[in-house]
Structure 1
């Protein structure tokens, strides 16, 4: 006899519908999730219809910039993870809705945004000499992610464009912005 996974009852009578939609944590999460108004009735449907309707509806969430279906799928996945982690006494993010919004934004940036084509533009860049008897400091820093391994450096040139001093260094684990500030600070000390 095949087992109906969606309605499978655990030994303590906890169903998939309970974990993903009906338990107090899930109910609170869905109430705060800004569900599109035309889908609010779906929370009264049976679990299979509820999953199908919400996972296949592409409505943009106002003010969020992402689709409801993407948020919904990350939501049910995280509610399932939460239930399993709670069973094994592992901590879980305090604000599950915010954690899921961050996952959806990361997913969109890493996966969906690269599916669109972008146009390249060439911009001419040049170095402009400083005024006579002055020096110029140029710095830059970057990180592989934010935060991630980072490094920065710079150089000082005179009014004729001649090299005076330079520096470069691995900074460790930080953000790109902090790395640029570090490089500027090191350049100021070298001047």
Structure 2
């Protein structure tokens, strides 16, 4: 558990919090409203079965406020010996308070303890709270030739889901 100066706490999720994550995800998706990716505002949230699976694997973190409300979360999974940050969202009402950075740091700290060599993610290249945000945390954009088979499959799945692949990048942070 990690308590931020702003009064938020980052910790592993509890089972009863899992159903709340879709609300945070949908609120966070509203940030895309005034971008070329406004279609994401109506995107379906992660399936609860997937969230439960990742929870059972010990790979769901939450950010909670001082009223014990979930205001952010991160979910990971393993992809080719790399910890893949599958989803991270913060309720925009609680944005700009270090919650996203703290969630990423919690994930990276855990990954290091689990002997992962790197943390990877897929994100939009030019959206400020996407690639530019992760760059500030030490992630670097991976060249397509560096991608493992699993990361290449993620790119393919994103294309099949209708995401504009030319606007997306895989980023990695070596641990």
Task: Give TM-score scaled by structure 2 length.
Answer: 0.26
Task: Point out the structure with the larger helix share.
Answer: 1
Q: Give the structure with the larger strand fraction.
A: 2
TM-score, normalised to structure 1's length? Answer: 0.24
